[in-house]
Structure 1
């Protein structure tokens, strides 16, 4: 595995993803889940520049650079994933619709499996669902950004005991891996912690969000 270069992170990496998607925008995002659909449905739907210029999350946290660049290209994938409020419910166009982790887990996994993640909602108070997983889900959680201005992407797994595990150091790497732009070796959700390109970012996010661990069991079952 090669060492890290500027092309492996942030906007530069996101540009590589966009180039790959533009070559075949109707390619399925997930080969194993046709319900997610293609990367771009029909024509790309960019968020207008004047909207993106002043855009922040509802918490006031800044958008990561990868998201800002991706939305300048297309918004349809994230809209399908529930990132924006439906037009009839929104007083403004492009209004973000995050949820605390517990609520998002219930939406994505159902009440029974999603409920244990409620104990983490105070720590992860602004989350967005991303495509990926069968008995697991991918979630971006905002908070303190890393050196590239990115927020981590976690896997919520319920195959055995409910568990949250760091999977990507940022949306930039999630997009690149999902689109097949970067090679990925190793098994397990947090395999990128052993990748020289991303190990430093992964360990930084682990310290900030999971007390230095790569995963955390969610054993706080509600009564």
Structure 2
């Protein structure tokens, strides 16, 4: 067997926001047509052809429909490619954002039985976007209160045992870095980055804003 090449650590100055996204873009450029993930519906390539950047004039004026600003990682990623996120329903053909509430997204992705469990928290997650990942679970970026890097959290919607929404990444920057293989994450569980020395502060910030200091909330249907 060939030895596994260890992933070199990312310097702290490059571990967040635009700097981290730049590293992701360099990784994707080195293998643009490799699978995003190696299973299920997420096994498509990072790029289906050449990158499709959002036009600069459109990107310069872009905000979410709620009026919330784009996180720096997303703005940098869209300057490189909009095709990936368009494939996952973030943008329409004119480059306008097309968010869903958490309840709408869960129903679309998980069906009526499991999706309806998330209705009880949907009003707190009014602007959500699907990301690749999970088999029975899903990965969702939800706008709201940004952290110190201007980033919004990424959650896991889990329906194994008791349905719940759990904080998984402190931002799109870290989600992209992990998904393209730039990070080595120690431990198990969705919110394992809460114990990571690089990302714990950001995780705690989002946990405070969203769950009152917890990292997850059970989502039981109204009876």
Q: Shorter-chain-normalised TM-score: which range?
A: over 0.9
The equivalences for 1:45-194 within 5 A come to 45-85=52-92, 87=93, 93-194=94-195
* Residue deviations 1:95-144 (CA, integer Å, cap 9, x gap): 11101111111111111101011111111100000000001000000001
CA shift, 1:186, in A, is 0.7
1:3 and 1:31, CA in 2 relative to 1: closer, same or farther beyond 3 A?
A: closer
Give the CA deviation at 1:165. Answer: 0.4
In the aligned structure 1, how far is the partner of 2:9 from the partner of 2:33?
Answer: 30
SS at match of 1:122: helix
Cα-to-partner distance string for 1:165-189 (whole Å, 9 max, x where unaligned): 0000000000000000111111000
Partner secondary structure for residue 184 of structure 2: coil
Residues 1:16 and 2:16 are matched in the alignment: no
- Runs in 1 of length 4+ with deviation above 4 angstroms? 1-4
Distance 1:35-1:200 versus aligned 2 partners, 3 A rule: closer
Structure 1 gaps of 5+ residues are: 88-92
Residue 33 of structure 1: CA displacement?
2.7
C-alpha distance in 1, partners of 2:51/2:139? 23
* Residue aligning to 1:26: 33
TM-score calculated relative to the size of structure 1? 0.93
SS of 2:187's equivalent in the other structure is coil
5+ residue gaps in structure 2?
Answer: 1-7
1:44 aligns with 2:51: yes
Distance 1:143 1:23, change over 3 A: same
* Alpha-carbon spacing, 1:52–1:29, altered in 2? closer, same or farther (3 Å): same
Distance in 2 (alpha carbons) for counterparts of 1:97 and 1:50: 19
Corresponding residue of 1:198: 199
Whether the 8 Å CA contact 2:102–2:122 is kept in 1: the answer is yes
- Note closer, same or farther for the CA distance 1:161–1:168 as it changes in structure 2 (3 Å cut): same
